[in-house]
Copies of this chain bind each other. A is one copy, B any other.
Amino acid sequence: MENKKHKIAIVGATGFTGSELARLLCQHENVTIKHITSERHQGKLFSDLHAQFLGIIDQELESADVIKESELDVIFLALPHGVSMDFVKKWKHKKSKIIDLSGDFRLSTPEVYKNWYQKDHVFIEGFEHAVYGQPELFADQIKKSSLVANPGCYPTASILSLAPLISAGLIQEGSVIIDAKSGLTGAGIKANDTTHFSNVNENFKAYGIGIHRHTVEIEEQFSILGKSKVQVQFTPHLLPIDRGILATSYANTTRKLDQESLISMYTDFYKEKPFVRIRNSAPSIKDVRGSHYCDIFPFWDQRTDRVIAISAIDNLLKGAASQAVHNMNLMLGLDEKTGLEQTPLRP
């Protein structure tokens, strides 16, 4: 039955996202990995780059040039921002569906893109077709799409944490503050001062204060969900761990709530979403690590009349690779859970 499998390619094998995509897809029952590409490392084996794959994926890395003539059902772009759009443009006449894990097609317009990414967009036409790939919120559009912009890691945790309240129109304008914390893999595989062990280990800091690009991504999606402009204060921090994001979201509501009704509202909102788990106490990052789950605890502080919603995801999975696979499942008409039911790895 091997030949009935969907053919996919992973463009960009070097980074964490590429290797996590490979890990998930090599065990996905409906898929065969036809190409893994890397311009810098073509000719080497995938397991030369990522030693954990020895004997598992010893496939040769190819140039992305092979994609042009290859019949592929899905192409995953695991490339840096500003690079992805070139490939999407180049392959616009191919019939393959594209899932882009960069930020190049997540925003509403080329102008907003330029504003926050300090770069002119080269494929403006893509904005018409691209669908924001948050499977819990936009499954219908994703199913019909051939270009999905896979959401950012912080936006995934942030948006899911408040979506039920935003959608219900219950949030006071101007009151949303998201204090988010991410493991180091969010900074990428490149060696630099930020990723040097001694700057991360036993340390903690905020960064990108007031200017992080994920701010606008969250604001745009909240504005769509809430049907009116939502401003967000978003502050990312760097945790001395490999994986995981925990977002602590604060918001004032337009009317008083209570704990019980808050939990109900969240449970209802996500009742057919198999990978969102509403908890009765605060989740920790290890409760979801290595899995596709997003765990959320919404808390009503009756002393201050404020909601505090805590959400946890694995930034490389629900915040990147497994979310991309989830989108692929939807785009190919497969059961959305296929290949995604790993239990979190703890401890």
Which of B54, B209, B210 is close to A277, meaning CB atoms less than 8 Å apart?
B54
Query: Is A192 at the interface (CB under 8 A from chain B)?
Result: yes
A318 to chain B, nearest CB (A): 14
How far, in Å, is A33 (CB) from chain B's closest CB? 13
Determine if B346 and A282 form an interchain contact, defined as CB atoms under 8 angstroms apart: no
**Residues of chain B contacted by A341 (CB below 8 angstroms):** 27, 56
Copies in the complex: 4
Given contacts A191-B193, A285-B203, A287-B52, contact A198 B179 (CB under 8 A): no
CA distance A52 to B342 in the complex (A): 11
Interface centre among A54, A55, A197 (most CB of B within 10 A): A197
Known: A198-B347, A237-B248. A282 touches B205 (CB 8 A): yes
Asked if A206 contacts B290 (CB within 8 A), the reply is no
Interface presence of A308 (CB below 8 A): yes
Within 8 Å CB of A231, what residues of B? 303-304
Given known A246-B204, A282-B209, A299-B210, contact A235–B197 (CB-CB < 8 A):
no
Question: Is A204 touching B185 in the complex (CB atoms < 8 A)?
Answer: no
Interchain CB contact under 8 A, A203 and B308: no
**Counting CB contacts under 8 A, is A345 at the interface?**
yes
Q: A27-B341, A52-B287, A210-B299 are in contact. List 14 more A-B contacts (CB 8 A).
A: A23-B343, A52-B288, A177-B177, A177-B250, A181-B181, A185-B347, A191-B196, A195-B196, A196-B197, A202-B242, A203-B244, A205-B246, A206-B246, A233-B308
